[in-house]
Structures are given as C-alpha cells and as structure tokens.
Structure 1
Amino acid sequence: MPEAHEQNAVVMDVLASVAEGYAKGGYFVVVDGIIGPWFLQPFKAVAAPLHYVVLRPPLDVAILRCQERGGDTLTDPEPITALHQQFSSLEQLERHVLPTDGQARHETLGMVIEAVGSGKFRLVV
C-alpha cells in the first residue's frame, strides 16, 4: 500500500545492511521476501556479488499459497493481485524471472540454486 512505502523502504535498508554484514563475515546470504525493483537500490550498494531472482507463479497459485500459509499473513486476493501485477512485467529485469508454474518446492529450489550458480541472475550495478 502506498502509505506503507516509507516503512518498507526502511525495512529494505536494514535488510541490505544486515545482508552486507553477513557477507563481509564470509557467509552466503539469501534474502527471501518481496523485493521489487523499486527497492533494489540499498542492495546495489552492498559490496558483494548480488543475484536477483524473482519467482513468478501464476496469479491463482500465488493467491492459494498466501491463503494456505495461515496465521497473520496476507490472504486478501486484492493486494495479492496488485503485487502480482507489479511483478508481471519487469522490463529490463525480466531476465531475472523464474516461472514456477506447476513445480514442486524442491524443483523451484533446484532452479534457484542453478540460476545463482550459473551467474545468470547476477545483478549488474
């Protein structure tokens, strides 16, 4: 939501700083979350190789997965649809998309590991 942008920007700054701290300590860091291109700038400042992988399930699958998580998570189809639309065309970053239609979790994980290992999803800063 637009009113949450400032809070989300602070969260991304903190995540990038923490990721950089771990990377400087010699750790391989994976930040798993909803990080749109509009929030990549803090990560681009990290002094470590940066890979950007966007998992893109079909909308119906995204809604179902969110609803199945339960608890205090996002379940309303309207904001899920809006997020899905924001990630549906990433222009120059479209090459960072992995479609996940019909895949089991372990298959998606294997694709992410392969993508990062190949350097194909390296973000040039």
Structure 2
Amino acid sequence: MKSAPIVIISGPPGSGKSSVARRLAENSAYERAIHMHTDDFYQYVRKGYISTWLPEAREQNVVILEAFTASATRYALGGYEVIVDGIIGPWFLDPWIKAVQDGFDVRFVILRPNEQTTVARAAERQGPGALVNAEVVGKMWNYFANLGRYESHVIDTTTQNIDESVTAIKKSIDDEAMRLS
C-alpha cells in the first residue's frame, strides 16, 4: 500500500500544536495536504460529552481517537499528507501503531515547551472552548513530562516561534527520527 504520510503533532494545551500543524499543512511538499484538528471531533458530541481530561472520559476519548485515526488513514490513502493536531500521548497510540502495522507511514512529534511557557501560552488563547485554566493545563503538561521511550520524539519549543518550530519539525521528519514503530 502506498499512501501519503501522517504526521501527529502532539503536546499539552498551549504548546503550539494548532499553529504549527496549520503551517506544516499549508507548506506541505505534497500536492495535497490536510490539517486535521482533533478538537473538532470532540466538538461533534452534542449529548453525553465528558471533559477529556477527566478519568471517566476514557471510553469517549478512545471512540473519538479511533474515529479521527480512521479519517486520517483514509485521507492518507487518498494521497493527502495528513497533519494531525491533538493531545495524543503515548497512552493513546494503539490505533496509530495499528495503522503503522497496516503499512501507513506515521510520524509522532511532541511539542513541549517548559511548564511556565505552556501555561502562559494557554492563558493567551482565545476562542470558544479554548483551554486556559492554568491548573488543568499544568496537569496536562505533567502528562507529557516523562515520556520514557517517546522522549526522543520531543521538541522543546520554549524559545521558538512558529517558524522555528516548523523548521525543527521538518528537519526531524526528514531525518525520520519521529517515525512511529
């Protein structure tokens, strides 16, 4: 199977995922590219929504994760480079690892500025549903603090602007350092 690559841009809220993913898709070397903002999939829920960071949201989060993984692989099969932007930690990689086993080229990049920068950036965000609560953002930053075998997938964006982060990600992807296996 020959498909376009899927690049997952992950990290805590306020790490720059959406801005970077949008720029990566707009400047893709592929003829077609998509920026898949996973938060949109959560907003589709009209009844029974549970805040994603709560333990009781696990089942909801798995269903939604499987839905956007299926969408991403379909786009990739259609020749679109897929830039996925979402809070996808190692605890939610099973569907992506299955995609790799099915022959998809999946890259996993974690943006992780230091905690203070992450909380400050999150507080500046605006728009409906923007997660700006410093306590929740700090808790979610801690989920990405020690990633074990995935620590090599981390890019520290503390002092980077969007263009610098995009350059660092492109370099890491070109070097295949972020390939999910």
User: Scaled by the length of structure 2, what TM-score is found?
Assistant: 0.66
1 or 2, which has the higher helix percentage?
Answer: 1
Between 38-47 and 89-98, report the one with greater CA deviation.
38-47
- CA distance in 2 between counterparts of 1:122 and 1:18 reads 20
RMSD between aligned residues: 1.0
CA distance in 2, matches of 1:65, 1:9: 27
Q: How does 1:73-92 map to 2 (within 5 A)?
A: 73-92=130-149
Query: Which residue of the partner structure matches residue 69 of structure 1?
Result: 125
Letter in 2 for 1:109: V
Alpha-carbon distance in structure 2 between the residues aligned to 1:37 and 1:56: 14
More strand per residue: 1 or 2?
2
The residue correspondences of 1:1-125 to structure 2 (distance < 5 A) are 1-46=54-99, 47-71=103-127, 72-124=129-181
Post-superposition Cα deviations, 1:60-119, rounded to whole Å, max 9, x if no partner, equal 111121111112211111111111111000001111111111111110011111111110
Residue ranges of structure 2 left out of the alignment (5+ in a row):
1-53
Structure 1 window deviating more from structure 2 (68-77 vs 50-59): it is 68-77
Any stretches of 5+ residues in structure 1 without a counterpart?
none
Identity rate, percent = 36
Question: In the comparison of the two structures, how many residue pairs are matched?
Answer: 124
